[in-house]
Structure 1
Amino acid sequence: MKDPSERRQAIIKKLASIKQTTASELAQVFGVSSKTIYKDIAALQKKFEGHAFQIVSRPHYGIYLSGDKNEALNVSKRFAPFAELPNNDQERIHYIYNRLLHTNDFISPIRLAQDLYVSERTIERNISSLARDLQRQNIELEKNLGRGYRLKVSEAKRRNLMFQILNQYWGQSWKVAGNGQQASIQFEKEPEDDHLVSGSLVQKLTDILDQFSEQQSFKFNDYEFQSLVIHLAIAISRVKEGRPLAKKLAGTDERAEQRQNAEKLTEMIKNLLGISLPPQETSYIQLHLIAATASPVQLEQKEVDQSVSELIRNELLDVGYDDKLIQGLAVHLTSTIKRLKVQISISNPYTKQIKKNYQQAFELALHLASSVEGQYGVVLNDDEAAYLALHIEAYLERTRFDRHMINAAIVCSTGQGSAQLLAAKIRNEFPQISISGIWSASELKTKDFIRIDCIISTINVEILEIPTILVSPFLTADDRHAIDNFVEQTLGSGKKDQQEFGRLIFPELTWAHSTAKSQAQVLQLICQQLVADGFAKDGVLESTLKREQISSTGFEMYALPHADPHFIKHSALAICTLEQPVKWGENEVSAVFFLAMDGTKSQQQLDHIFDYFYRVTSDQKLLQRLIKITDSQQLYQAIIGES
């Protein structure tokens, strides 16, 4: 019986029909281990605590059911599935973190070990992993030898941490439903679902906030709506547990922005849920309403801080920008700065994917975020930077699209009809070619050729430095071949990607199965060689470590560390595979690609490099094959063979 819920239902029926049994006997009956049975019993005891029957497990006696056995049988008939106890390190770490968030008191590792049916040593190992993760977020896990562990954070910080978990947990639990005239956001989790706060409470608050939005004509975007619902649910749950905020938050006095709306929402919660929130909780709601009014959806272009636009232009001067990028980032950052000034941060469910898939854009976003922090006194974490990266990546995609198109002029001496037919054939057969003009020979002297990449003509045309492809008005097979060749030579991005990538690889910067035991040892090995071979200056290691402190460059099984271009003399790609994986941020990596860029590469060259690098690292089979190579020369040859 593989389904735990079915097995536990059967265990209740079994216990209701006998006087007493043992874990080993039940294990034999259900074909599982005694350890699994003990987990089942613990789960059943927790689920049916307070019922008219109890499931008892006594050492040296066995397992039995006390109380009303008829009620136990009735319960087993309407038995509902419930979550498994955590069964691996990652699940236990998540469970322990939830427990710590739920209480301000210490939690004993002995109690956790008993609750989870594992050894105290296992719990201590899981807590050590959790402590390292929390340390990276500047969160202290306090230890008391006699009492256990607790989170040393303020109530406001604790709520933000709870929000991060709940927002991720419930990310797919919202839907938009309409009645034919109006659409509203609805929450879909089961009412009995309980994950830090009650799912049924979230459902009720969704309805209340929907009413509030309509009555007060308050516009939320989807994310703001969902976020405020979750924050309200956390606040109400904490108040009911006797854990309200200790003091009123700054910037939320009775005359401040959104105070009346916050008081109205507090009143609706009292009337509809029967819960009175203290003034400091109204202030908490007020901050979130202020943040909602600062969203890009609410802002108009005229409200954008022009100093923000100027900062963006200065930061992106080397990369380039267009009006769309400046406007999008300016609106977003004006909103972000206002929100962060009232200490409201947002989570980004796609940060990991953005860091991995849009590495160049994320790096540029980090530099922009650092400048914003310095000028406006706010802190932008990886989630905030990832949102900036999306704007930047959209711009890079626009420029790539432009670079991957050939602007051509059609010149035809046989009249407009045949010229239009030739243009139509070219558009249909060569989507990479954009027709910028259809001209007669006599018109050429009046035209501007600045943005023309080539001329496709039915007559000989000689325009200085502009290639001409001579074709028939009917576009023969030879004509198509000539155009194909020109397109391949001009846009052959696959070959150019390989060429640009291959130019960065050197045998002296390639290590196979290094015995380095830590991130620091790997970086020291690579940076020392970069300096020794004249690729980098002294200080490159310190620059690289500083960059890692800002945001980890680890991605699943590989890492992509890099330093400030100021410390790089000549661009190169150092490659190091590891005998044993090392911890790199949240990941265990087996391959390290150190991208040393001197800042002289054009944006087009960088695109080729990153495009090809992405193809290599996205190929799991190729990565595994490279990691298995034990000889450095063979590794170099394998990579050169790929590139």
Structure 2
Amino acid sequence: MIIELILSKQVVHYQDIMEYTGMSRKTITKYLNKVEAIVNQQGVELVRKRGQGIHFRGNTNALLAKFPALKDGSQSEEERRISIMTFLTQQSSPILLDDIADHFFISRSTLERDLNILKSSYGLKLTATTEGIQFKSSEGDVRRLIGQLLQSYWGQEIKQNQRTGKMVRTFKIPASLKRYVDKQTLDQMQRVLNQFVATLKVDVNEYQYESLLIHTTIAIQRIRNGEYISHLSSSRLNGITISPSTTKLAKMLVAAFGCTLPDEEIAYLNIHVAAIEDGYIDLAHNGIVEQEMVNWLRTVLSDYDNQLLRNLTLHLRPALVRIKNGISITNPYCNQVKTYFPVAFDHALALAMAITKRYRLQLTEDEIAYLALHFESFIERRKTSRSDVELVIVCSTGYGTAELLKQRVMDKLPNVNIVNTLSVSELMAGPVTADIVISTIPLRLNGTRVIQVTPFLNDHEIDVLKKLSQDVRKEKYAREAFVKLLSPNGIITNSSATNKQAAIIQITDQLQTHGYVDKQMQASALAREQVASTIIDKFAIPHGDINHVLKPTIGILTSKRGIEWDHERVHIVFFVALNRTVESQMDDIYSYFYSLIQNANRMAALTKAQDVQSIIEILAHDKGE
């Protein structure tokens, strides 16, 4: 950013850079040192002189040519956090926060925020002394951490070998993790595991293969470096029975890599092999398997069909084995699942809490998001066509053509209700009342959507009609369903709350006072917040158990100053308090709701709103659309 600014303005001052980047003068000075080192490599000098400003001296053509590559090579926030984490695992003694911040050219506050996110997202464990902070954990903790990072950030590609025709899978290792996993070891490990998997009598899914590949690759490299699982970290493994498959894999690893596997390493390896074998379900012989789990699911789910019970059982069996053994997986679509399937995610969250209570196992957000996909499939299966978008057909070429057009519409848009088919003379006789009018002649009507079509209704016209019907549904029905849930009694403007707990307490107190939720809702919402974060983009959408909703509503809390929420700052909190009385309208409510929060102008207007009525007006109308 600084290079780009100087190249564009030619001469800048500290204040210009501070305003452009939003950083302090002290931090800018650190970055300018970095800039100087970069431009010097291109034969350009960075001049910093009082009275002359900050500028480049020399031929900047080479720098201009190089700049796109410099820009593309800059780290994202996530990449920086990975670098910080790997940097900490490599330190043999405590290091001061200021020294770490200087090393990565970031402010101390940014570093502290990154460390908090690393602690919550990856379980990074740090000890703090007067000499600084240090990553002091067992060898097992180090491997778990590296494994999580790899699973989150390595890129997988599958391509067909041109000579043999076989499918080949390759992985791209992040640069910051190449110290722990090199490509040669990874490629050789894949060959070993492919042979091993072929000997098993069970199917190995993608999660299991990746987990085993990551663990064994890291283990071999750490063993080569003399970094073994210690007796202390593996004490919980004592007394376990080593699977014959584990013994077979250990022998294959020794033969392939020429190293010795201590008993602790074999016991640790056994965890991953056991997760594969214990989690396997043979559908050919078991049919609807695990009847005990199926029966339990019937007691905890409020609504289900046999397919949902079957799918959840098939998913949960290996998942619970995996979680029990401390094997984590990542879900690259977790945020999208939370955003686009909120009802399904809520059902999955409720099931996760029930699993914690019954099995004493804590599911991560990634695991919950995978469960949510099964619930979304169930929701989609239950959907029935709703003929609530009204359409009138106007045709000037005779009854036969009108009937053909009507049949085409019914076939391609089954959720549209055709209320009338009119000739031109019938149209002239009286007004038309419908959401959409399709006509074979040019036609203009006040306040009604009209589209001119051919009698044969081509594909382009069908697409336009589908889009129009979706717009009608959103405006006429979805907005109406959402706005009905708003009440001045459930809205708090410019709250003084500074953190998520205070915000949830304030909004639930308000809703309880006015009879929307019972007194248990507050505790329920706070408990759910501990299981999975309710941040979506820059907004928070907390909620509790639907059994604590007395009267459905959507509570709203705004804050101009902002509220600290899981290491982010939010300005708008929507408290979703819905129950089964609005179940048939749930899709409409969430459809309109998410179109609202994706509109930056309306959300900015909400934050600035001075009173409750202004908030309702902003949400109920298409201002800013």
2:288 touches 2:310 (CA, 8 Å); kept in 1?
A: no
Q: Measure the CA separation in 1 of the matches of 2:510 and 2:105.
A: 50
Aligned residue type for 1:302 = G
Match of 1:210 among 194, 219, 239: 194
Matched, 1:143 2:128: yes
Give the drift of 1:86. Answer: 7.7
2:552 touches 2:577 (CA, 8 Å); kept in 1?
A: yes
Q: Secondary structure at the match of 1:561?
A: coil
Matched, 1:590 2:571: yes
Q: Measure the CA separation in 2 of the matches of 1:266 and 1:332.
A: 28
The equivalences for 1:256-405 within 5 A come to 256=242, 259-294=243-278, 301-302=286-287, 304-317=289-302, 320-400=303-383, 402-404=384-386
Question: Partner residue of 1:609?
Answer: 589
Deviations 1:408-458 (A, max 9, x none): xxxxxxxxxx99x97996366443439xxxxxxxxxxxxxxxxxx99x9xx
1:166 touches 1:195 (CA, 8 Å); kept in 2?
A: no
Aligned residue type for 2:126 = L
Give the drift of 1:396. Answer: 0.8
Question: Partner residue of 1:225?
Answer: 209
Give the drift of 1:286. Answer: 2.2
Deviations 1:81-102 (A, max 9, x none): 9999987876554322222344
Aligned residue type for 1:316 = L
Q: Measure the CA separation in 1 of the matches of 2:70 and 2:249.
A: 34
Aligned residue type for 2:528 = R
1:109 touches 1:124 (CA, 8 Å); kept in 2?
A: no
Matched, 1:534 2:515: yes
Matched, 1:243 2:227: yes
Call closer, same or farther: CA 1:595–1:642 in 2, change over 3 Å: farther
1:139 touches 1:152 (CA, 8 Å); kept in 2?
A: no
Q: Measure the CA separation in 1 of the matches of 2:227 and 2:298.
A: 46
Q: Measure the CA separation in 2 of the matches of 1:38 and 1:483.
A: 65
Call closer, same or farther: CA 1:34–1:102 in 2, change over 3 Å: closer
Q: Measure the CA separation in 2 of the matches of 1:383 and 1:340.
A: 12
Call closer, same or farther: CA 1:316–1:113 in 2, change over 3 Å: closer
Deviations 1:133-157 (A, max 9, x none): 51576654211213x2233544333
Matched, 1:98 2:86: yes
Q: Measure the CA separation in 2 of the matches of 1:33 and 1:489.
A: 55
Give the drift of 1:252. Answer: 8.3
Q: Measure the CA separation in 2 of the matches of 1:589 and 1:208.
A: 49
Call closer, same or farther: CA 1:571–1:385 in 2, change over 3 Å: same
Matched, 1:636 2:616: yes
Aligned residue pairs, count: 519
Match of 2:141 among 139, 157, 160: 157
Q: Measure the CA separation in 2 of the matches of 1:192 and 1:577.
A: 40
5+ residue gaps, structure 1, are: 5-31, 43-80, 407-417, 435-452, 457-468
Query: What TM-score, normalized to structure 2?
Result: 0.71
1:574 touches 1:594 (CA, 8 Å); kept in 2?
A: yes
The equivalences for 1:462-611 within 5 A come to 493-494=473-474, 495-597=476-578, 599-611=579-591
Q: Measure the CA separation in 2 of the matches of 1:138 and 1:223.
A: 20
Q: Measure the CA separation in 1 of the matches of 2:357 and 2:174.
A: 45
Q: Measure the CA separation in 2 of the matches of 1:363 and 1:515.
A: 28
Name which structure has the greater RCO, CA cutoff 8 Å, separation 6+: 2
Call closer, same or farther: CA 1:91–1:242 in 2, change over 3 Å: same
Call closer, same or farther: CA 1:191–1:164 in 2, change over 3 Å: closer
2:596 touches 2:619 (CA, 8 Å); kept in 1?
A: no
Aligned residue type for 2:565 = W
Q: Measure the CA separation in 1 of the matches of 2:226 and 2:121.
A: 30
Question: Partner residue of 2:603?
Answer: 623
Q: Measure the CA separation in 2 of the matches of 1:482 and 1:96.
A: 61
Give the drift of 1:249. Answer: 6.9
Give the drift of 1:348. Answer: 1.7
Percent of pairs with identical residues:
25
Q: Secondary structure at the match of 2:581?
A: coil
Matched, 1:194 2:204: no
Give the drift of 1:639. Answer: 1.2
Give the drift of 1:593. Answer: 0.7
2:347 touches 2:372 (CA, 8 Å); kept in 1?
A: yes
2:207 touches 2:329 (CA, 8 Å); kept in 1?
A: no
Call closer, same or farther: CA 1:382–1:635 in 2, change over 3 Å: same
1:582 touches 1:588 (CA, 8 Å); kept in 2?
A: yes
Query: What TM-score, normalized to structure 1?
Result: 0.69
Call closer, same or farther: CA 1:249–1:230 in 2, change over 3 Å: farther
Give the drift of 1:520. Answer: 2.9
2:602 touches 2:618 (CA, 8 Å); kept in 1?
A: no
Q: Measure the CA separation in 1 of the matches of 2:78 and 2:228.
A: 31
Give the drift of 1:560. Answer: 0.6
Q: Secondary structure at the match of 2:327?
A: coil
Call closer, same or farther: CA 1:332–1:124 in 2, change over 3 Å: same
Question: Partner residue of 2:440?
Answer: none
1:365 touches 1:385 (CA, 8 Å); kept in 2?
A: yes
**Which structure would you say has the larger Rg?**
1
Deviations 1:368-405 (A, max 9, x none): 122222223322221211111010011112222x2447
Q: Secondary structure at the match of 2:488?
A: strand
Q: Secondary structure at the match of 2:490?
A: strand
Aligned residue type for 1:346 = I
Aligned residue type for 1:199 = K
Q: Measure the CA separation in 2 of the matches of 1:95 and 1:627.
A: 35
1:578 touches 1:590 (CA, 8 Å); kept in 2?
A: yes
2:193 touches 2:213 (CA, 8 Å); kept in 1?
A: yes
Q: Measure the CA separation in 2 of the matches of 1:377 and 1:580.
A: 39
Aligned residue type for 1:209 = L
1:238 touches 1:244 (CA, 8 Å); kept in 2?
A: yes
Aligned residue type for 1:290 = A
Deviates more, 1:301-310 or 1:107-116: 107-116
Question: Partner residue of 2:453?
Answer: none
Q: Measure the CA separation in 2 of the matches of 1:492 and 1:243.
A: 64
Deviations 1:472-505 (A, max 9, x none): 9xxx999x999989x9999974322212111110
Q: Measure the CA separation in 2 of the matches of 1:193 and 1:536.
A: 49
The equivalences for 1:55-66 within 5 A come to none
Call closer, same or farther: CA 1:156–1:535 in 2, change over 3 Å: same
Q: Measure the CA separation in 2 of the matches of 1:124 and 1:85.
A: 24
Quote the RMSD (CA, aligned, Å). 4.3
2:81 touches 2:118 (CA, 8 Å); kept in 1?
A: no
Question: Partner residue of 1:35?
Answer: 34
Aligned residue type for 1:37 = E
Deviates more, 1:384-393 or 1:187-196: 187-196
2:517 touches 2:551 (CA, 8 Å); kept in 1?
A: yes
1:373 touches 1:379 (CA, 8 Å); kept in 2?
A: yes
Q: Measure the CA separation in 2 of the matches of 1:191 and 1:155.
A: 22
Q: Measure the CA separation in 1 of the matches of 2:565 and 2:175.
A: 40
